Structure 1
Amino acid sequence: MPTRPPRLCGCGLVVASGVQCACQIKRNAERKARHDRDRPNANARGYSSKWREARNGFLAKHTKCVRCGAPATVVNHRVPHKGDKRLFWSRSNWEAVCAPCHNGPIQSAEKKPR
C-alpha cells in the first residue's frame, strides 16, 4: 500500500506524513494554554454541585449513550447553552452520551462555524 511522502514543515524540518513537527506541538500547547487562561472555571460556567447532583440523577435514568449505545458518562446539552441558564437547566435539552462521542464528533460539530 503506498504511503504519502514526508513533508516540509514551516520551520524547515522534514516531517513524516501524519506526524506533527515539534514546533507544531509547541504552538498547539501555547494556543491551548492561552485559551485555558482566559476561560472561566467549571463552577463559574454553571457546573456546580447542584449541576453534578442533577447530572448524576439524569445518568442514573439514562444509562446508554444515545449515539452509540455504550454506557453514558456525560450529559450533553443538545443546543449549546453558551451561558443561558434557562437552556442550561432545560432537561429537554439534555442527552446522555459516552465520553468518546462527546469529546469527538459532538465537540467537533460545536466548533464548526455556522
Structure 2
Amino acid sequence: MPIRAPRICGCGLKIASGERCPCERKRKAEADARRPSARERGYTSKWDLERAAYLKTRPRCVRCGAAATVVDHKVRHRGDKKLFWDRSNWQALCRTCHDRWKQSHERKAAP
C-alpha cells in the first residue's frame, strides 16, 4: 500500500504523513483552552431533554438516512440563544455525517 510523502509544516519542520506538527498541537491546545465548555455554550440538561425529544421525532440522518444521534445547528448560533433554541435551525445527523461532512463544511466556511 502506498504511503504519502511527508509534508512541510508552516513552521518549516518535515512531518510524516498522518502526524501533527508540535506547533499544530500547541495551537490546538491553546484554542481549546480559550473555548468555553459545552455547558457554558448552552448545552445544558435542558438541551439534553430537547435533543432527545427532537431525535425521537426525527430518528434518521437528513444526509444519509442512518440512525441519527446528533442534533446539529444548521446555522452556527455563536452564542445567540434565540438561534440556539430555534428548532427550524436544527437537523438530525448521524455521528459520521456530523463529524465529517458538517465539520468539514464549517471549516471551509469559517471567516
Question: What is the TM-score normalised by the length of structure 1?
Answer: 0.81
Select 1:46's aligned residue among 18, 42, 48.
Answer: 42
Equivalent AA in structure 2 for residue 80 of structure 1? R
Between the aligned partners of 2:25 and 2:33, the Cα distance in structure 1 is 12
SS of the aligned residue for 1:76 comes to: strand
* 2:99 maps to which of 94, 103, 107: 103
RMSD after superposition: 2.3
- Deviating above 6 A after TM superposition, structure 1's stretches of 4 or more consecutive aligned residues are none
Distance of 1:58 and 1:5 partners within structure 2: 42
Deviations 1:36-92 (A, max 9, x none): 100011111000000000001101111000000111000001111111101100011
Measure the CA separation in 1 of the matches of 2:5 and 2:54: 49
Which one has the largest radius of gyration? Answer: 1
Residue 33 of structure 1, aligned match among 29, 47, 53: 29
Q: What is the percent sequence identity of the aligned residues?
A: 45
Provide TM-score, normalisation by structure 2.
Answer: 0.83
Tell me what 1:20 maps to.
19
Query: 1:4 and 1:78 mapped to 2: Cα distance?
Result: 36
Deviation at 1:5, TM superposition (A): 7.2
Q: Which consecutive residues of structure 1, in runs of 5 or more, have no partner in the other structure?
A: none
Q: 2:59 aligns to what SS in structure 1? A: coil
Letter in 2 for 1:57: A
Aligned to 1:67: 63
Matches of 1:4 and 1:47 in 2, distance apart? 41
Contact kept in structure 2, 1:65 and 1:96, CA below 8 Å: yes
Distance 1:64 1:30, change over 3 A: same
Secondary structure (helix, strand or coil) at the match of 1:31 reads: helix
Q: Determine the C-alpha separation between the residues in 2 that align with 1:48 and 1:14.
A: 40
